[in-house]
Amino acid sequence: MQFGIFTVSDITQDPTTGRTPTEAERIQATITIAKHAEAVGLDVFALGEHHNPPFWSSSPTTTLAYIAGQTSTLRLSTATTLITTNDPVKIAEDYAMLQHVSGGRIDLMLGRGNTGPVYPWFGKDIRQGLPLTLENYELLRRLWREDVVDWEGRFRTPLQGFTSTPRPLDGVPPFVWHGSIRSPEIAEQAASHGDGFFANHIFWPASHTQRMIALYRQRYEHHGHGRADQAIVGLGGQVFMRKNSQDAVRDFRPYFDNAPVYGHGPSLEEFTSQTPLTVGSPQEVIDKTLGFRDYVGDYQRQLFLMDHAGLPLKTVLEQLDLLGEEVVPVLRREFAKNRPADVPDAPTHESLVAAAYGDAAPRQATPNPNRGDNLTVGSPYQDTPVEAPTSSGSAFGPAATRSTATRSTSIR
């Protein structure tokens, strides 16, 4: 089972000091947090994607690539990658590249996003969020699994003879988790492809998460990927710890009360009793987290949110020390007890390569023989005769541009 942390990249005022970190400070702090997560023995660091204040992480692949270069064992993921407002071609290329630079230490979580104004910023309509999700993911899967793609859909310019580059590392795409809080259609999408399903699990009662996971497991088995208890499940959670629970409640209360998401609503006590939020001693975190298995079954990945609501870097690093030294070792041991041997671990690049090829060498890509001159249907240069540049023409002028953009797409 994998344990790690995720961040939503919020820039929030510290209510105990009145100070708000700068973007630069918050970005550097997040890198420090990720490196410390590896140092204390965690498995996964996941970074969200947002395009609106007060969040800074608009380009998670850039940040994760840098973190990959600063770490050696930490698995990197997203929380989430927006499948609706990102072009699936760019997702295919960016995460395949991240596979290569990280040595396969990458997977991603796809989500729709729930911030209405972001959609039109990228030319999309939030009312089409679900159809966009379904169509864009179908294209993304093909771009990773087929070396040459012809495609046409509702929301994007068609593709003809297109090869996404680079090809996935070892011919195996990154593993995909589908993240959702409330959409059964996303649970169905994850189940139909045999992908992972990640329940945010932070702001909702256990009964809601239980129903979503049960639906995903049922449909996973229906689609023939294995038994329901073999489906790949991840959960979020949020914790704040001190050596004793009284100090934890005292220290976290001002952050909870002023948090941009759950502040100024139910009390801290009400929230911790009704949701997975755990504020207390390491033992209380252990006990509550182990209880998740009672209503979702054996699962593969547990991520904790630890840097939300304006907590200063020093405090977050202290939390990670407690998590890595006192909590996760016990969770690993206890979750392993009575776990059926045929319930799989969380997929990794190595396990996916082994499942795909066994002892054989990974397949080599067969890219489009047009030597990379991928064309989009409807290009103004398509089927235009190639013109040699005149002696007076610039090497970068229209003739030269046209001559490199009009290779035939009939060769397959």
Please name the residue that has the structure tokens 């001559």: 403
Residue 86 placed within a domain:
no
Q: How many CA atoms lie within 13 A of 298 on its CB side?
A: 20
Q: How far apart are CA 317 and CA 17, in angstroms?
A: 18
Q: How far apart are CA 300 and CA 302, in angstroms?
A: 7
| pLDDT over 70, % of the chain | 88
What is the predicted pLDDT for the residue at 123?
Answer: 81
What is the predicted pLDDT for the residue at 402?
Answer: 32
254 and 389 co-located in one domain: no
Domain membership of residue 412 as a residue range: 379-412
> Per residue in 88-110, pLDDT tens?
999 999 999 999 999 999 999 99
| CATH code, domain with 300 | 3.20.20.30
Q: With a threshold of 0.85, does the pTM exceed it?
A: yes
- Mean per-residue pLDDT, 16-32: 97
Confidence grade of residue 291 (pLDDT, cut at 50, 70, 90): very high
- Mean per-residue pLDDT, 249-273: 90
Mean pLDDT rounded to a whole number for the chain = 88
Phi, psi (5° rounding) for residue 228?
A: -60, -40
Confidence grade of residue 130 (pLDDT, cut at 50, 70, 90): confident
User: Which residue, of 299, 323, 347, is where some domain finishes?
Assistant: 347
Confidence grade of residue 412 (pLDDT, cut at 50, 70, 90): very low
Nearest to 256 by CA among 244, 269, 273: 269
> Per residue in 138-197, pLDDT tens?
999 999 999 999 999 999 999 999 999 999 999 999 999 999 887 899 999 999 999 999
407 and 302 co-located in one domain: no
* Whether 55 contacts 115, CB under 8 Å: no
Pick the residue with more confidence: 375 or 264? 264
| pLDDT over 90, % of the chain | 72
Listed in order, strand segments (DSSP E) in 89-173 are 108-111, 149-151, 159-162
What are the CA-CA distances from residue 385 to residues 29, 162, 201, 393, 412 (Å)? 54, 21, 57, 17, 20
Pick the residue with more confidence: 284 or 374? 284
212 and 306 co-located in one domain: yes
Residue 355 placed within a domain:
no
